[in-house]
Structure 1
């Protein structure tokens, strides 16, 4: 606990960066799992899904340690409440990655049309891009604080936030395309396959949704 307190004394974002590094590793492992799923390497999917679960658990433990260490007596450039809200949103990115990994394990992807698998892979790529951008955003926010809110550093942060919002728009378009493909191919597979596919898409969308929420919290912190 003392370690986190010392980090907070340096910057309110140093502990968040430590947590974000684990969240980033979680989504990068999910990215490998998605590629293995797409290529039909189901044994590899299982191994990677177990690793996603392990990393998400580490992220949870770090989150709780940070919460326990974040005393109201600490003097910070941003509010304790904002830090805690951001931490919660950042952790939800890892939670969503774990949810996706669980759905990948439900069944092997045999019988799913290639065009549907292509869209899911693209959704995964975009969602994971959003998660990676959030990591960049929290690192950049630390630079903003250390610079005394220098205009150059603030503009760099806003650029990252805009990029995250752009990814969210791309995900929405892919989600619509996927739903169309599922209904167009309804006669080629049973309802459980459609349900399976749409739930993978839902959990992937949640990754980018939580990334966008985290980015919006950073924007609010800068505006204060």
Structure 2
């Protein structure tokens, strides 16, 4: 715990960056698993999906260590409660990645129409991009603090946040397109197949949703 306290003494965002690095590793591993699922390499996908689960556990442990170390006596440039809320939201990105990995593991060799697989892969790519941008955002927030809240660095942060919001909006459209495709292929898909596909899409959307929530918390911290 002393390690986290020392990091907080330097900046309230140094421990969040350490946690974010694990979250980033989690979503990047999911990205690899999703690509292998798309290609039909289920054995390779399963190995990576299990690793996603392990990394999410690591992120959870780090989150708890940080929370236990964040003393109310520490003087910080931002509100302690805001830091804790952001940490919770950032951790939810890893939780959503783990949920997707679990759905990938549920059903192995299956026939999903190509255009459905295409749009799921696109959704995954975009959602994971949002999660990667959250990592950039928390690193940039540390720069904002160190710069004394310079306008130049704040504008860079807002640019990242707008990118995240744009991705989340784009995925909303993909969600609708996927539902239309599921009904288009209803004769080819069993009820279970449709449920499986829609839940993979739901958990992928959750990654970008949680990324947007985390970005919004950064925006609130800057506005304060």
Give me the whole-angstrom Cα distance separating, in 2, the residues matched to 1:31 and 1:110.
19
Residue in 1 aligned with 2:78?
78
Residue in 2 aligned with 1:162?
162
Residue in 2 aligned with 1:174?
174
Show structure 1 runs of 4+ deviating over 6 A: none
| Aligned-partner SS, 1:189 | coil
| Aligned-partner SS, 1:164 | helix
After superposition, where does 1:1-224 map in structure 2 within 5 Å? 1-108=1-108, 110-224=110-224
Give me the whole-angstrom Cα distance separating, in 2, the residues matched to 1:103 and 1:88.
23
Unaligned runs of 5+ in 1: none
Q: How far 1:142 moved relative to its partner?
A: 0.1
Q: How far 1:109 moved relative to its partner?
A: 5.0
Give the TM-score, by structure 2 length. Answer: 0.99
Residue range with higher mean Cα deviation, 105-114 or 130-139: 105-114
Q: How far 1:111 moved relative to its partner?
A: 1.5
Give me the whole-angstrom Cα distance separating, in 1, the residues matched to 2:50 and 2:164.
28
Root-mean-square deviation over aligned CA pairs: 0.5
| Aligned-partner SS, 1:54 | helix
Give me the whole-angstrom Cα distance separating, in 1, the residues matched to 2:81 and 2:109.
43
Give me the whole-angstrom Cα distance separating, in 2, the residues matched to 1:143 and 1:103.
37
The answer to whether the 8 Å contact 1:86/1:218 transfers is yes
Give me the whole-angstrom Cα distance separating, in 2, the residues matched to 1:189 and 1:84.
43
Give the TM-score, by structure 1 length. Answer: 0.99
Q: How far 1:108 moved relative to its partner?
A: 2.2
Q: How far 1:3 moved relative to its partner?
A: 0.4
The Cα offsets for residues 17-53 of structure 1, whole Å up to 9 and x where unpaired, read as 0000000000000000000000010101110011101
Give me the whole-angstrom Cα distance separating, in 2, the residues matched to 1:167 and 1:115.
21
Count of matched residue positions in the alignment of Structure 1 and Structure 2: 224
Give me the whole-angstrom Cα distance separating, in 2, the residues matched to 1:176 and 1:11.
42
Give me the whole-angstrom Cα distance separating, in 1, the residues matched to 2:109 and 2:206.
21
The answer to whether the 8 Å contact 1:9/1:74 transfers is yes
Unaligned runs of 5+ in 2: none
Residue range with higher mean Cα deviation, 160-169 or 107-116: 107-116
